[in-house]
Structure 1
Amino acid sequence: MSGTSVKGYNSSFFNGLTIEGGFHTDMYGLCCPQIRGPGITDQVCFAPEDAISTCYALIGDTVQRVLLWIVGIIAVLGNFTVIVCRFVWNKSVLNKAYGIFVTNLGVSDFIMGVYLLVIASADLYYNGIYITKNIYWKQSLVCHIAGFLSTLSSETSAFFVLLVTIDRYFVLKFPFGQYGFTKRSTLIASVAAWSCGFALALTPSLPNFNDWTIFYVNGMCLGLPLTVERLGGWEYSVAIFVGLNTVMFVVIAAGQYSIYQAMSGNRAAKTAVHNSNRRSQDVAVAKQLFLVVLTDFLCYFPVGLMGLLAMTGHQIGNKVYAWSAVLVLPINSAINPVLYTVPVIQNKWLQFQRRHFRFGLKRDKSQNANPVATLSNALEYNLKNITL
């Protein structure tokens, strides 16, 4: 049965059939004990192993199953906290292009966390009986929604990382604002990024592409082109996850190199005292966001590289495929909130400590001082130390 497409099977699929020679199939599920029945023994049933799933579980590896829950929970809670803090506690950052782009990146990473929890919940729901529900799950609406969410998140994340890189390049290369994102262009760029992400993620689910199977090649509903199989819609998957993403991250790498050069130039050209503080803030922000860009690059670029290898006929090992799907691709969604939020929280805490320590010190040294004058001095110090 190698090369034969089986649209569906159940636990009684081979009842009454005995094979003594050999049974060969491309679908690992047909060799599972729940499907092959007593007439086909394990010794005569030959099928390739699935990279992610087993006969009993959607996520076959226990460590990967636990990590899926951990990364998903951290991504959801971390990015939700970031979004709330941006709109409630740190609104000032939304007045700048990079603040808007990073907030949108947080929304995109939050979506990836939701996707991971959907897959982890499905794994828990089908645990022990997965192979009998394998085809039903892959063709279900929930699996299609999960595939949509994963593609939307991965593509919009790449778009916003690119926009962050472009913004930091303009700010550091042209510190006097000759070029850069205005409020209008920032809004247009953000809407365009989400629109493109929605279009790219929704296309495989349109009625005109019913023969495409990129969202149910595996149990995690991922469309990653990391196999040598040429299933329905593989050209689209390669064009997006390999072609488009590779081009974007080459541009991002070139942009980060240009930012490094611009930072070096700014350090060498600090001649105006008036602008030195602003420049140092811009450089600090660029260094902080560089880590965000680097983690995204390290997550998505290897996937594109493995896709290129698969296109040329190189078989990607099952373990590599599984870890890429479970950990490598989504891990940056959990790391990003830490990278661009923890420094902000630390900075705010240090400012709080400095203000209160200074106020307390003045009060102790001037017990007999005019309380109105003391309060005035404290307020003056606080106003001088307010930063973005």
Structure 2
Amino acid sequence: MWAVPIQHIMKDAFSGLIRLKSLVIVTQLSDNDHIDVKSGGLDGIQSLQTLYVDDHRLCCHFQNLDDCITVEPQPPLFMCGSLMQNYILRVSMWVLGISAVVGNAYVVIWRFTEKTKSSNMAKQSFLIGNLAISDSLMGIYMLILACADLYYGDDYFVFSDQWRSGPICKLASFICLMSSEASVFLITLISVDRFLCLVFPFSPLHLRLKSTRIIVSILWVITLTISVIPTVLAGPNSDFYDLSDVCVGLPLITRPASFKIQTTDVDNPLSDRSFNLPVPEESKPAWYFSIALFLGVNLICFAIILVCYIAIFINVQLAKKKASRTTAVDEDLKMALRMAAIVGTDFICWVPIIIMGILSQTGMVVIPLQMYTWSVVFILPVNSSINPYMYTVSYLISDFRSKKSAEGTVSTGGATKSSIVS
């Protein structure tokens, strides 16, 4: 057994040690440094069965080894290889990120430059424009991760500690939280507004354009505060909000609450040495802030959204039984249906994370580490890419129907006039 502080493993460093069964590699390097393994540096140790290391990243160089034991606990979400684990994730990150930025930028420009005739439509354009701003931030977050994956490549695991504690990852965390929480708050506000307009159409407690702007401004301030807190106070090993490889702490994992020391003897004819290895005991939530935010605040918001749209649905069914409806109610109803589709995509994206978070934190299931990255790519941000096209399609359909209706009215009026003249 060898135990020597090292910084480099040169080519053929283990040449001739074909019978070596156990190996201890002590690097004594800081998190900002890493051991340099040259090509062919691990050749010649085909019989190796057990490896003891003080740097968990070294295990990635020995992936064919059955037993790689780390003297220090490794981060809860550490994985070998690249930031995006496969080609599907890598391509999807670029496609969804670009789609979210371009699509939402178009919606923002369109909504804030559109000349609306009614204050109600101006209010809806204002809300959708702000929602598009929050969704575009998610696209920026995804492109930051995509660029990091492209930059580090397959050697990402070597630099993972520097990445997680670096300023770019913290900026990405800030942007992601801003986007996700602003989206949740804005959709809740939209749902409450539609609820008041449809269920209580004659009530004075309706949101006007001025009051909507004030409320939205307050929501952005709250969101900014929420996003800054974990980014400023968190450290790479903080229990408050530990940054993961994807720079956002979803409540999908737990971490050991404490460790007990277990002495392990290394069986090697060249030396007789024992090592103190940490063995995890009970588990605790990885991020209390994440649980309070995603499983607390967001769950309450979606409960409000659900109640609002159940009430709207009941009101729609009752409205169908009435013989006549005013044009204003019909307009609100159509708008509510379009909003319900938009809210539905966000609901579908967040509910799986809430459910997985509850199951994980209660210990009922263990979420695979790979699921964390898939959630960030396909569950968390996909609505940010879909929403702008839903806005556009719904508007074009509504505009087309309005034009057809106008043409029909003109045609009918012309025919009537002709018959009268004749």
TM above 0.5: yes
Q: Tell me, in whole angstroms, the C-alpha distance in 2 between the residues paired with 1:26 and 1:90.
A: 64
What's the counterpart of residue 253 of structure 1? 306
Q: How much does 1:183 deviate?
A: 2.6
Q: Deviations along 1:244-301, whole A, 9 cap, x unmatched?
A: 1111111111111011112223333454xxx621111111111111111111111112
Q: Secondary structure at the match of 1:225?
A: coil
Q: Tell me, in whole angstroms, the C-alpha distance in 2 between the residues paired with 1:78 and 1:93.
A: 25
User: Mean Cα displacement is larger for which, 310-319 or 328-337?
Assistant: 310-319
What's the counterpart of residue 374 of structure 2? 323
Task: Kindly report which structure 2 residues correspond to 1:29-108, keeping only aligned pairs within 5 A, or say none.
Answer: 29-33=57-61, 42-45=65-68, 55-92=80-117, 95-96=120-121, 97-108=123-134
TM-aligned CA distance change 1:330 to 1:94, over 3 Å:
farther
TM-aligned CA distance change 1:232 to 1:347, over 3 Å:
closer
Percent pairwise identity: 28
Q: Deviations along 1:142-187, whole A, 9 cap, x unmatched?
A: 1000011111111111101100110000000122343211233212
Letter matched to residue 77 of structure 1: V
Q: Secondary structure at the match of 1:179?
A: coil
Q: How much does 1:357 deviate?
A: 9.3
2:36 aligned residue (3, 9, 12): 12
| Conserved 8 A contact 2:316-2:333 | yes
> In the alignment, is residue 280 of structure 1 matched against residue 327 of structure 2?
no
Task: Kindly report which structure 2 residues correspond to 1:137-156, keeping only aligned pairs within 5 A, or say none.
Answer: 137-156=163-182
| Conserved 8 A contact 1:270-1:276 | no
- Give the number of the structure whose residues are more often strand, by fraction: 2
2:355 aligned residue (305, 325, 339): 305
| Conserved 8 A contact 1:155-1:197 | yes
Q: How much does 1:232 deviate?
A: 9.3
Q: Tell me, in whole angstroms, the C-alpha distance in 1 between the residues paired with 2:246 and 2:228.
A: 17
Q: Tell me, in whole angstroms, the C-alpha distance in 2 between the residues paired with 1:24 and 1:251.
A: 52
User: Mean Cα displacement is larger for which, 204-213 or 71-80?
Assistant: 204-213
| Conserved 8 A contact 1:143-1:215 | no
1:169 aligned residue (189, 195, 219): 195
User: Mean Cα displacement is larger for which, 207-216 or 70-79?
Assistant: 207-216
TM-aligned CA distance change 1:307 to 1:93, over 3 Å:
farther
Q: Tell me, in whole angstroms, the C-alpha distance in 2 between the residues paired with 1:175 and 1:334.
A: 33
Q: How much does 1:206 deviate?
A: 2.3
Q: Secondary structure at the match of 2:254?
A: coil
| Conserved 8 A contact 1:83-1:106 | yes
Q: How much does 1:99 deviate?
A: 2.9
TM-aligned CA distance change 1:26 to 1:222, over 3 Å:
farther
Figure out how many residues of one structure are paired with residues of the other and give that number: 354
- Any gaps of 5 or more consecutive residues in structure 2? 1-23, 257-283
What's the counterpart of residue 204 of structure 2? 178
> In the alignment, is residue 347 of structure 1 matched against residue 398 of structure 2?
yes
| Conserved 8 A contact 1:159-1:193 | yes
- Give the number of the structure whose residues are more often helix, by fraction: 1
| Conserved 8 A contact 1:105-1:156 | yes
User: Mean Cα displacement is larger for which, 211-220 or 104-113?
Assistant: 211-220
What's the counterpart of residue 235 of structure 1? 288
Q: How much does 1:228 deviate?
A: 1.6
Task: Kindly report which structure 2 residues correspond to 1:352-371, keeping only aligned pairs within 5 A, or say none.
Answer: none
| Conserved 8 A contact 2:234-2:243 | no
Q: Tell me, in whole angstroms, the C-alpha distance in 2 between the residues paired with 1:362 and 1:190.
A: 45
| Conserved 8 A contact 2:103-2:389 | yes
What's the counterpart of residue 376 of structure 1? none
Letter matched to residue 166 of structure 1: V
Q: How much does 1:358 deviate?
A: 8.7
Q: Secondary structure at the match of 2:227?
A: helix
Letter matched to residue 35 of structure 2: S
What's the counterpart of residue 128 of structure 1? 154
User: Mean Cα displacement is larger for which, 325-334 or 171-180?
Assistant: 171-180
1:189 aligned residue (187, 190, 215): 215
Give the greater-gyration-radius structure (CA).
2
Cα RMSD, aligned residues only: 3.7
What's the counterpart of residue 315 of structure 2? 262
> In the alignment, is residue 202 of structure 1 matched against residue 248 of structure 2?
no
TM-aligned CA distance change 1:323 to 1:7, over 3 Å:
same
Q: Tell me, in whole angstroms, the C-alpha distance in 2 between the residues paired with 1:298 and 1:213.
A: 29
> In the alignment, is residue 334 of structure 1 matched against residue 385 of structure 2?
yes
Q: Secondary structure at the match of 2:246?
A: coil
